[in-house]
Amino acid sequence: MKVIVAKSAGFCFGVRRAVQLAEEAAQSCARLYTLGPIIHNRSVVEHLETLGVHAAGPDHVFAAGDTVIIRSHGVGRRQYEALKAAGVQVIDATCPNVEKIHQTVRKQSDSGRMIVIIGEREHPEVTGIADWCGQYVILETPQETEEYLFSHPEMRDLPLAVVSQTTGNRENFELCVKTIKKECTNAVFFDTICLATSVRQAEAYELAAHCDGMIVIGGKNSANSRRLAEICARNCGKVVFAECAADVCSAQFRGLDTVGITAGASTPAWIIKEVNQKMYDENKVTVASETAEGAVQETKPINETADEASFEELLEQSIKTLYTGEKVTGVVAAITPTEISVDLGTKQSGYIPIGELTDDPTAKAEDLVKVGDEIETYVMRVNDVEGTVMLSKKRLDSVKAWDDIVAARESKEPVEGYVTEENKGGLVVMVKGVRVFVPASQSGVPKDAPLTQLLKTKVRLRITEVNQARRRVVGSIRAVAYDERRAKAEAIWNEIEVGKHYTGTVKSLTSYGAFVDIGGIDGMVHVSELSWTRIHQPSDILKVGDQIDVFVLSFDKEKKKISLGCKNEADNPWTKFTSAYDVGSVASVRIVKLMPFGAFAEIIPGVDGLIHISQIADRRIGKPDEVLTVGETVNAKITEINNEKQKVSLSIRALLNGEADAPAADSEDAAE
């Protein structure tokens, strides 16, 4: 049997922080209490009880000198004020995510909005949130939301603010929001579901889909654990909800190939390990390894490492103070459009604003990091009050990048960066977090063109000057562009041959042709080689910047000149004409020009024929316009095809008389 433990299983940041604060307080406080069980896990509560941390019931009367820990669920305004009035010392372990909801509902209530809380009515977190509101309503399900709005039509025009329990089910919350948006015209919405909760639920859903059975570890009264079990049950037919290893029996999974394990936010690592170990012991999982003497069977528990510490040791290791400027390593816990949540394994919650992740303004966070990735960062700011740490990957990369910048200056190797701003006299390019100044003359942009065309683009440049004392770096985009163009040009000259095709870019237009860049070298396409049809000037069919296919007509390496063509022989009108018509064929032609000696008619686009004046009618006429008009379509017989001069003679008269008279002797000269 294969056992897979979810990466996100177990303690979330808020729970870990609350337990750590209790551990720390137990070392110095004689009478220490928590308002109810600090987390929904009997084993952890019992462990803290042995250290002198007692869970106080709702009727407990506190005395002056007591120390009370507010658990991660938080409390309401009135209970908080009552504790202060009783003269007890308060240690606030409210999860920062819950504290943000308190601040949000308080602010929205003060602005006159009614608060809508999506969550479990009796959950301590929800009752605590409600006490920070003015007017509020608690709704648990989409159906209840719809029924409440139907029975309270006045809600549809009221100003509302909608929040969610942090451990709420995202699908449930989004359906409630959808109903409110449909019915109410003045509502604002705050997605307050904890990022770790969303990640844990999504991972459990995916894991259940790939496993034959699932074990969900958590307290029976833990809302987020019960929700995990519900989510797993959607994708897996066999789900066991257990509080500890004693609740798991391997016989329940007999005959299954793969079993997944996930755990609620209140489940410590040692309980997850015990369940995993029990599955191993009772199923006798065997892993074969190869030796010089042959195959040897050895039995080892899945997902176990030799250096795993006890629960107490893990807690002790995680109690650490962070300082600004320190380098820290954490694990990506969640990704949002604005920030990356990082689990540092400490009592503080780490986050990286998107602007501190990368210099690339077009990059998406999910393309750079994934949930579960280990990431090294730089501590920008520590907020012990809120229990948060602002981190920067970009700043750490910048510190490391100075060595790379100095090395690039010595080696003259190009580096890549992003143009972030136009500065006086040039541009600022961020290279691995280091500001590099590029003078306008080194930007590669023509003198009269705006530098702004390079803003927010990736460029390659050469470092030309480094002054670490002044933190000044100067670079050149033009130098790299020149070298790259020269290398490409050399490669083209080494491989060029008549008839070779290139995809080029139109660089400039003249009255006689177009200059096309074929990748480092400009070649010229004469106006006569641009199109099979007659054009007055190249700008009739091209503009600067167009991509066109060209081929080499001729070249001179000494003079560095290349003549190009772009007329495809398959599109040659004369070839199309001769393959479709012969002498004697009748064609429907369009009169395009009238001359004293006859009329020119288009047979197909690009091929015209001459109808001599003597071949227009079966009688003598003075001028062609007595019978024909420009734009008119008539039937004519092909009487002569001159392949050498690519000329065609036509006759309308031949169709009228049933035979063609010879055209006038000077008709060809007249046509010319």
Q: Is 125 a catalytic residue?
A: yes
Q: Is 170 exposed, middle or buried (0-12, 13-18, 19+ CB in 10 A)?
A: middle
Cβ-proximal residues to 6 (8 Å cutoff; 6+ apart), any chain: 200, 203, 204, 207, 260, 261, 262, 263
Task: Report CA dihedral (475, 481, 484, 490) to the nearest 10 degrees.
Answer: -130
Crossing angle (nearest 10°) for helices 13-26 and 96-110: 110
Helix (H) or strand (E) holding 467: strand 458-467
Do 637 and 629 contact (CB within 8 A), yes or no?
no
Which tokens is 348 given?
């503080």
**Strand partners for 522:** 517
- Residue labelled with tokens 């959808």: 178
Q: Kindly state the tokens that stand for 213.
A: 């059975």
Q: Which of 24, 46, 49, 125 is catalytic?
A: 125
d(CA 202, CA 15) in angstroms, rounded, equals: 20
Question: Residue for token digits 């896990």?
Answer: 41
**Beta-strand pair 586-595/633-642:** antiparallel
Distance CA 363, CA 331 (A): 20
Q: Give me the residue label for tokens 């409630």.
A: 176
Amino acid identity for residue 558 in this structure: E
* DSSP-assigned states of every residue in 102-145: HHHHHHHHHTTPEEEEES-TT-HHHHHHHTT-SSEEEE-SHHHH
**Residue 381 contacts residue 390 (beta carbons within 8 Å):** yes
Q: Does residue 586 contact residue 636 with C-beta atoms inside 8 Å?
A: yes
The CB density around residue 254, as the number of other CB atoms within 10 Å, is 11
Active-site residue set: 125
